[in-house]
Amino acid sequence: MTVFLLGVGAACLLGLGFVLQQHAAQRAPRSEILSYRLLLRLMRQPEWLLGIAFMVGGQVLSAMALSAGRISLVEPLLATNLLFAMGLARSITGQRLGRSGWGGVLLLALGVTAFITSGEPTGGGTEAGVLRHWLVFGVVAGAALLLVSIARRLPLFEEATLLALAAGLLYGLQDALTRTAGQRFTHGGLALLLTSWQTWTVVAIGVIGLILVQSAFESAPLRMSLPALTAAQPLAGIACGVGFLGDRLRLTPGALAGEAVGLVCIVLGVIIIGRHPAMPDTCAENCVEEAVRAAQQEAATAQRAGAH
């Protein structure tokens, strides 16, 4: 029960934090996407700082949940952050849930329930060797890097989704390393924690993930980024948990079918909720203004070139 309360509490704080961050980030200049200057600008906005405070609180609770339970159990619970994000977004937009909204809520809830009851995630397995550990790490990190490089060649709206997917993969990897760092602290205290590469990798991933998320929030409305972020994180976290942390899931045919159905319902529920009209679309007007300014600048440049 403790793991469930910690996981849902973390999801609540993360969801609220994401909405506040996006509401602030969408007002930043597009030229600062994927730049540390974006974070420096946002640090001067109280609304963004409040969103970060919520997110940090959520990460602390998720770290406690990961220390108390298996990552394959905690990650599906964290995916419910979208429900809390939608609750705050609904108060901003004034939209009711309607059939599609409630359908997404039910799909997400059923998906989490189906995955946990079918898979019965447990620990106690032997952690993988160094080779497998780095192989899974490299695949997840490499996939995130590939998504970022592809995103840079796409329009802003499409770029936001890929940046959020990349951030979700990194956050799932971060969750796995957070649990490993917690185990180091339990066995060797603060000295072992501070000398472990996992600790500093968690910090580095946190900074990179934050830049990716804020860039995605700045690029497009929340509905274009948060569903991708919310769906990618648990999938990457579960893969890391089973891949190198020794987590175990039931592998009978019936259990595998239930786990697959649960994951599909989670992803579909996340997408339906994220596309709901209640999710804020406040950046659309700014994006149009930005496009108009860009077109005006291009026209002015073309006229100067023609004059010469």
Residue 134 has a pLDDT of 87
Residue 283 has a pLDDT of 45
Query: What value, to the nearest 5°, has the Cα angle with vertex 111 and ends 110 and 115?
Result: 115
- Of 58-62, 109-113, 290-294, the poorest mean pLDDT is in 290-294
pLDDT tens for each residue of 104-121: 777 877 887 787 778 776
Alpha-carbon gap, residue 52 to 30, rounded angstroms: 21
Residue 250 has a pLDDT of 78
pLDDT tens for each residue of 122-138: 655 566 677 888 888 89
* 11: pLDDT strictly greater than 80: yes
User: 172 vs 140, 175, 178, CA distance in Å?
Assistant: 9, 5, 10
Alpha-carbon gap, residue 133 to 135, rounded angstroms: 6
Average pLDDT of the segment spanning 84-89: 75
113 class by beta-carbon count within 10 Å (0-12 exposed, 13-18 middle, 19+ buried): middle
Average pLDDT of the segment spanning 1-7: 84
- What one-letter code names the amino acid at 165? L
Residue 152 has a pLDDT of 85
Residue 292 has a pLDDT of 47
* 162: pLDDT strictly greater than 70: yes
Tokens for 118, please give them.
Answer: 């079918």
Residue 229 has a pLDDT of 86
> What percentage of the chain reaches a pLDDT higher than 70?
82
Residue 139 has a pLDDT of 92
> What percentage of the chain reaches a pLDDT higher than 90?
9
Residue 285 — pLDDT band, cuts 50, 70, 90?
very low
Residue 239 — pLDDT band, cuts 50, 70, 90?
confident
List beta partners, residue 122: 248
Tokens for 193, please give them.
Answer: 């924690």
Alpha-carbon gap, residue 107 to 111, rounded angstroms: 6
**Any residues with CB less than 8 A from the CB of 211 and at least 6 apart, and which?**
34, 35, 36, 38, 39
* 182: pLDDT strictly greater than 50: yes
Residue 176 has a pLDDT of 86
120 vs 148, more confident: 148
* 170: pLDDT strictly greater than 90: yes
Mean pLDDT rounded to a whole number for the chain: 79
